[in-house]
Structure 1
Amino acid sequence: MEYENLLRDWLLGLIAALLAAVALSATSGGDAYLDVLGPIVIVLAVVTFLAFVMLTGAFLVYTASFRD
């Protein structure tokens, strides 16, 4: 499995969902669709943030292991 494609697709999906939420919130009739898309955007953003925090922590632990 190619993780580069998985990461790229995840980030593209996140960007698309966030842009759709912004576009729908700017239109007058978009509130009905935004109610459906809102939870998806929140889940994508939270999972992405938590993954970033975990990867950053893992990187810091990895780099700290080289201290003598």
Structure 2
Amino acid sequence: MDDLLTNWLLGLIAALLAVLVLDTTGQEFLSPLDPVANVLALVTFLSFVLLTGAFLVYTASFRDE
């Protein structure tokens, strides 16, 4: 599971860096990638929210002990 998460995060970082590089090279190269960048941003935000929620639930489980 750790390898899957690590590979997914590395792929996400590489994709976001590629979008930044294409943004500096010109708008004509970036226009087709706008939907991909929006999906990556949405997935990143939702995964952050889910992981934060899971962490809060996990830490709250120790409250009664």
Q: TM-score range by the shorter chain?
A: 0.7 to 0.9
Give the distance between the partners of 2:37 and 2:55, measured in 1 at CA: 27
CA-atom RMSD in angstroms: 1.5
Q: Select 1:63's aligned residue among 55, 59, 65.
A: 59
**Residue of structure 2 in register with 1:15 after alignment:** 13
Give the distance between the partners of 2:27 and 2:42, measured in 1 at CA: 22
TM-score of the two chains, using structure 2 as the length reference: 0.77
Structure 1 runs of 4+ off > 3 angstroms?
Answer: none
Count of residue pairs the alignment pairs up: 64
TM-score of the two chains, using structure 1 as the length reference: 0.74
Alignment of 1:1-68 (within 5 A): 3-27=1-25, 30-68=26-64
Could you tell me how far 1:45 is from its partner in structure 2? 2.0
Gaps of 5+ in 1: none
Could you tell me how far 1:5 is from its partner in structure 2? 2.2
Could you tell me how far 1:16 is from its partner in structure 2? 1.4
Aligned residues with identical type, % of pairs: 66
